[in-house]
Amino acid sequence: MAISVKPIALWRREIQDRPGALAESLAPLADASVNVTILMAYRIPGQAGHGAVELFPVSGKRATAAAERGGFSASSIPALLVEGDDSPGLGSRLSRAIAETGINLDFVVAQVVARRYSAVFGFGDEESARRAVAVIKKAASAGARRPAAARSSKRR
């Protein structure tokens, strides 16, 4: 299975939990024609009336200036972007392999679109993220090496 794992810098801002706050935050990026491929917006647990927005990528002067106009700044949360071909149980294999290595996840956001898997894994520190790269690659390739009969029996 072809899979890529790369460290990314999420850009983050806190917002008020109210209608229109997300749209207002994103407007400067849209006005500058910045193409964002990852966007997460959510309420902050335990902080009534507060939410957060995280996005990726922000690179280059134009995008950086637009993100800063929108109130975003580079997040200190170490994160990995994992992309590749989807397969049954991939998310389970990856999260299990990370756990078995003793690495704790801060968050995961994952989706499959047209048989392509994409996930952002967040970690508490840079060392955990660095160690997780090899763990994720190994776990993804282990699933690809299962015999065809084992793969087809899992789908039933």
Total number of domains in the chain:
2
CATH of the domain at 48: 3.30.70.260
What pTM did the predictor assign? 0.85
Query: 3 in a domain, yes or no?
Result: no
User: Cβ distance 67 to 28 under 8 Å?
Assistant: yes
pLDDT tens figures, 76-117:
999 999 999 999 999 999 999 999 999 999 999 999 999 999
User: Given this model, what pLDDT does residue 145 score?
Assistant: 52
Query: 1 in a domain, yes or no?
Result: no
- Whether residues 82 and 149 share a domain: the answer is yes
Q: Out of 17, 39, 74, pick the residue that ends a domain.
A: 74
Domain that holds residue 144: 77-154
| Strands lying side by side in the sheet with 116-123 | 3-8, 79-85, 116-123, 105-113
**Mean pLDDT of the residues in the chain:** 91
